[in-house]
Amino acid sequence: MAVVQSLLLLLLLSAVATIASAARGCSSVTFPSNRVYAACTDLPQLSSSLHWSYDAASGNLSLAFVAPPPKPDGWVSWAINPTAKGMVGSQALIAFRQPNGKMGVKTYNITRYGPVSEGPIAFQTSGLEAEYVDGAIRLYGKLKLRHGTTTVNQVWQVGATVVNGVPQKHDFKPENLQSKGTLNLVLKT
């Protein structure tokens, strides 16, 4: 009897774990009704997903990036790199709990490996907001891309710590180093 009970408990726990991890994927993230995205892709690293709507004629991109930070007080980031495929050159949005205690998003022009500093990026931004739901950070924002843009180099990342409002360096595990790729914004997914 005790064996049956622990087996049931185990099954229940693994079902809960599956639901919790799936809550970061395209098929299971539920946004508030005012946030609607036409496309989504499950990203191949860091248990993350990108949800977006895009109008190529205007270059208006509205996005939600969902990823679990390694620790609750960590950070998550999504970026476009207009000049290269990796981190250096990235025009990054980074979401984390701000010094005022609220979740928020700041912009970073990543010019080198090393400490990041907040500042303007190459794209006009609006609607930058973040929230922490089910162990994942949801980063929301709108970017104005050059009209006619269809494909971008995307880079995404997660980190465990923020010190005095500054996101600290991420791990250098394979999944942290491979979290980049080409995104076709107009591809129906």
Nearer to ligand NAG, 6 or 111 (CB): 111
Three-state SS string over 109-160 comes to: ECCCCCCCCECCCCCEEEEEEEEEECCEEEEEEEEECCCCCCEEEEEEEEEC
Q: Determine, following the binding rule CB under 6 A, whether residue 109 of this chain makes contact with ligand NAG.
A: yes
3-state DSSP assignment of residue 96: strand
The C-alpha atoms of residue 14 and residue 11 are separated, in whole angstroms, by 5
Nearer to ligand NAG, 108 or 137 (CB): 108
Nearer to ligand NAG, 14 or 111 (CB): 111
Which member of 53, 60, 98, 125 binds ligand NAG (CB under 6 A)?
A: 60
Going along the chain, which residue ranges are E strands? 39-42, 49-55, 60-67, 75-80, 91-97, 103-109, 124-133, 136-144, 151-159, 162-163, 166-167, 180-184
CB of 100 to ligand NAG, least distance (A): 25
Segment contacting ligand NAG (CB under 6 A): 97-105, 121-129, 152-160, 170-178? 121-129
The C-alpha atoms of residue 87 and residue 109 are separated, in whole angstroms, by 10
Nearer to ligand NAG, 47 or 77 (CB): 77
**Under rule CB under 6 A, how many of the chain's residues touch ligand NAG?**
9
Which member of 6, 83, 117, 126 binds ligand NAG (CB under 6 A)?
A: 126
Residue 170: partners with Cβ closer than 8 Å, 6 or more residues away = 157, 158, 159, 160, 176
Q: Determine, following the binding rule CB under 6 A, whether residue 121 of this chain makes contact with ligand NAG.
A: yes
Nearer to ligand NAG, 122 or 128 (CB): 122
Q: Determine, following the binding rule CB under 6 A, whether residue 111 of this chain makes contact with ligand NAG.
A: yes
Interacting residues toward ligand NAG by CB under 6 A:
55, 58, 60, 109, 111, 120-122, 126
